[in-house]
């Protein structure tokens, strides 16, 4: 057997063992960074090492140093697992090693990306003219959409920002809810708007933007304006009133961008799509595939109702770059040039699940979230959000107690939930985003969380003691 096949077989064996045993292991990484560093941080050798040995070292490190995000009881951040077909397709992507930048570099990557873009448009209910780019994640999707917005709103005011930059340009007002994801501010920083110059619109107790407040704010805004709304608050899962915001933005000539890193997929479920009403009226959308679509890292998607602006903001030209006028070149819609053919696992997932399979994945996660909320409330703990999607926020008492509980849960290892601060209070955040989670995992996790919480609260000094 060739060395290549030996290595691929070894990788398959190690990956298979890893994934088959993941439901039964502690969810938090068994080894801490110090232990891993002691094993892995060696002086770079002069002569190198046999590849089989290096692969063996990595396989062992993977057993020790990874968090079981591919397992059924990881509820941290908003982390999708990877569906088996997505993982397998991603292996093919690595084996093919196609540069997905240009059609001439890989007809396969170009065609699959094109087809996948069409399916994503259909699922989200936007028109066939919308342009689509596959980027590394939600942050880059927001960045790309906001770059297209900057291009479009400034051109309408006679300014070519791609050529002339921002110095001397008409001032663009960027408006976002108080609860906008921090990547909106990061994108604002990268695009030269400045994160501190975002006009912050008040939000309600679920984190939804106040449409009246936006209306008032836009009344006093002259010149180009971009509004960043949200479909799925990273804590509560709540949606801004997108339809209303679209109406207001349309009236005031403001660009409406919707950041729906995970929540946007609600549009693909008959039971959830009411939450996303109005997204087709937006000017741009951002979402992730590596979250709720359950493809491996990394993959985000940006969609734009103004393909010309999208392309102009991203396209780069060079004399040696050969393009064809009739084929779509993927690099024209993303900030990168050379790039992974990252739409291929998305193609595999959507073709495997179909529309009803995707809806079932989304709705099952939401059902699990509701069960978490119900079980924890029955246990006497306080649910802090309306559980409209896959996110649950829970308090176990005062902030210190809540923090001790979620750290205890992480330490216990049955499941993994992260901490957050919601409306000034510490909370534990449960995000159900993986295809792998079943009813039994939710019950096992509920029981573990309840036990830890009772232990922590039992240790608390009695009032007045």
Tell me which residues touch ligand PLP (CB under 6 A).
78, 137-139, 181, 183, 230, 232, 234, 259, 261-262, 288, 300
Locus of tokens 């066939």: 128
Which long-range contacts does 195-202 make (Cβ < 8 Å, 24+ apart)? 198/174, 199/173, 199/174, 199/175, 200/175, 200/176, 201/175, 201/176, 201/177, 202/177, 202/178
Min. distance of Cβ 393 from ligand PLP in angstroms?
A: 14
Min. distance of Cβ 175 from ligand PLP in angstroms?
A: 16
Min. distance of Cβ 144 from ligand PLP in angstroms?
A: 12
79/106 with CB nearer ligand PLP:
79
Min. distance of Cβ 131 from ligand PLP in angstroms?
A: 20
Beta bridge partner(s), residue 286: 259, 302
288/329 with CB nearer ligand PLP:
288
Min. distance of Cβ 236 from ligand PLP in angstroms?
A: 11
Residue 84, C-beta contacts closer than 8 angstroms, at least 6 positions apart: 19
Please report the beta strands in 252-294, taking only residues with DSSP state E, as ranges in sequence order: 255-259, 284-288
65/137 with CB nearer ligand PLP:
137
Residue nearest to ligand PLP (CB): 138
Min. distance of Cβ 361 from ligand PLP in angstroms?
A: 18
131/233 with CB nearer ligand PLP:
233
115 phi/psi in degrees, rounded to 5: -65, -45
Min. distance of Cβ 262 from ligand PLP in angstroms?
A: 6
234/446 with CB nearer ligand PLP:
234
183/414 with CB nearer ligand PLP:
183
Residue 438, C-beta contacts closer than 8 angstroms, at least 6 positions apart: 72
Rounded CA-CA distance 345/443 in Å is: 31
DSSP-derived letter for residue 392 is E
335/375 with CB nearer ligand PLP:
335
């Amino acid at each position: 057997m060739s060395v290549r096949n030996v290595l691929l077989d070894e990788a398959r064996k190690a990956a298979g063992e890893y994934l088959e045993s993941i439901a039964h292991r502690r969810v938090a990484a068994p080894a801490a960074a110090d232990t891993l560093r002691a094993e892995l941080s060696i002086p770079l050798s002069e002569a190198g090492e046999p590849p089989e040995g290096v692969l063996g070292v990595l396989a062992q490190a993977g057993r020790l140093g990874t968090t079981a995000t591919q397992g059924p009881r990881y509820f941290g951040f908003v982390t999708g697992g990877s569906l088996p077909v997505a993982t397998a397709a991603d292996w093919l992507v690595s084996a093919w090693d196609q540069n997905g930048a240009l059609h001439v570099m890989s007809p396969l990557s170009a065609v699959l990306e094109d087809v996948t873009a069409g399916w994503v448009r259909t699922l989200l209910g936007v028109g066939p003219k919308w342009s689509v780019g596959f980027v590394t994640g939600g942050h880059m999707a927001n960045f790309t959409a906001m770059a297209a917005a900057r291009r479009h709103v400034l051109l309408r005011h006679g300014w070519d920002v791609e050529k002339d930059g921002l110095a001397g340009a008409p001032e663009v007002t960027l408006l976002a809810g108080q609860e906008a994801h921090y990547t909106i501010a990061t994108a604002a920083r990268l695009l030269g708007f400045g994160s501190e110059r975002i006009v912050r619109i008040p939000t309600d107790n679920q984190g939804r933007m106040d449409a009246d407040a936006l209306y008032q704010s836009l009344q006093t805004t002259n010149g180009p304006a971009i509004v960043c709304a949200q479909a799925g608050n990273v804590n509560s899962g709540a949606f801004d009133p997108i339809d209303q915001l679209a109406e207001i933005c349309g009236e005031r000539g403001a660009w409406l961008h919707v950041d729906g890193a995970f929540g946007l997929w609600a549009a693909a479920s008959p039971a959830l799509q009411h939450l996303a009403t109005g997204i087709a009226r937006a000017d741009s959308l951002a979402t992730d595939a590596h979250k709720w679509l359950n493809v491996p890292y990394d993959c985000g998607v940006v969609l734009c109702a103004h393909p010309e602006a999208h392309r102009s903001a991203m396209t780069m030209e060079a004399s040696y770059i050969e393009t064809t006028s009739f084929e779509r070149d993927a690099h024209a819609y993303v900030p990168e040039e050379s790039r992974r053919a990252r739409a291929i696992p998305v193609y595999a997932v959507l073709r495997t699940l179909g529309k009803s399979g995707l809806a079932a994945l989304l709705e099952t996660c939401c059902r699990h979230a509701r069960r978490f909320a119900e079980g924890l409330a029955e246990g006497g703990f306080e649910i802090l959000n309306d559980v409209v999607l896959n996110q649950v926020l829970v308090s176990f008492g005062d902030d210190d107690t809540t923090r001790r509980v979620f750290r205890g849960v992480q330490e216990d290892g049955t499941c993994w939930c992260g901490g957050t601060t919601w409306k000034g209070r510490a909370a534990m955040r449960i995000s159900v985003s993986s295809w792998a989670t079943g009813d039994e995992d939710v019950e096992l996790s509920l029981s573990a969380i309840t036990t830890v919480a009772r232990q922590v609260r039992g240790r608390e000094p009695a009032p007045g003691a």
